[in-house]
């Protein structure tokens, strides 16, 4: 598969494409190495991939704090908020395997 620079038959390197916010979304060198990036609406980098097969993905909360990270090496850091599961008394009894009562 041809790289973007090869498809465009460009001879000027490094070859770079930027989005409307000025974020570098594609970069390529004369020897064929490339990487691409994706950004969210707040310009947080949410995805990275390169020609060596490495990749990373991230998620951010509304305050631009990173709450999730995963990469091609298998590293995962998940700080996303967890929803609170609701159960009936019957469901809890079945899960615990014996009757119980709730105390405060």
Q: Closest by alpha carbon to 51, among 67, 75, 27, 68?
A: 27
**What's the rounded Cα separation, in Å, for the pair 34 and 10?**
14
- For residues 78 and 71, the answer to whether their CB atoms sit within 8 Å is no
pLDDT < 70 regions, the chain: none
pTM: 0.74
- For residues 64 and 39, the answer to whether their CB atoms sit within 8 Å is no
pLDDT at res. 57: 98
Quote the tokens at residue 57.
């993905």
pLDDT at res. 76: 97
pLDDT at res. 15: 97
**Hey, where are the domains in the chain?**
4-80
């Amino acid at each position: 598969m041809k790289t973007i620079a090869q498809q465009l038959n460009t001879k000027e390197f490094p070859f770079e494409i930027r989005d409307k916010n000025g974020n570098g979304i594609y970069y390529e060198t004369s020897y064929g190495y490339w990487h691409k990036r994706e950004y969210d609406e707040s310009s947080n980098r949410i995805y990275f991939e390169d020609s060596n097969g490495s990749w990373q993905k991230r998620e951010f909360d509304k305050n631009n704090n990173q709450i999730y990270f995963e990469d091609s090496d298998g590293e995962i850091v998940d700080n996303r908020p967890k929803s609170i599961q609701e159960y009936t008394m019957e469901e809890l009894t079945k899960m615990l395997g014996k009757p119980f009562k709730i105390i405060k």
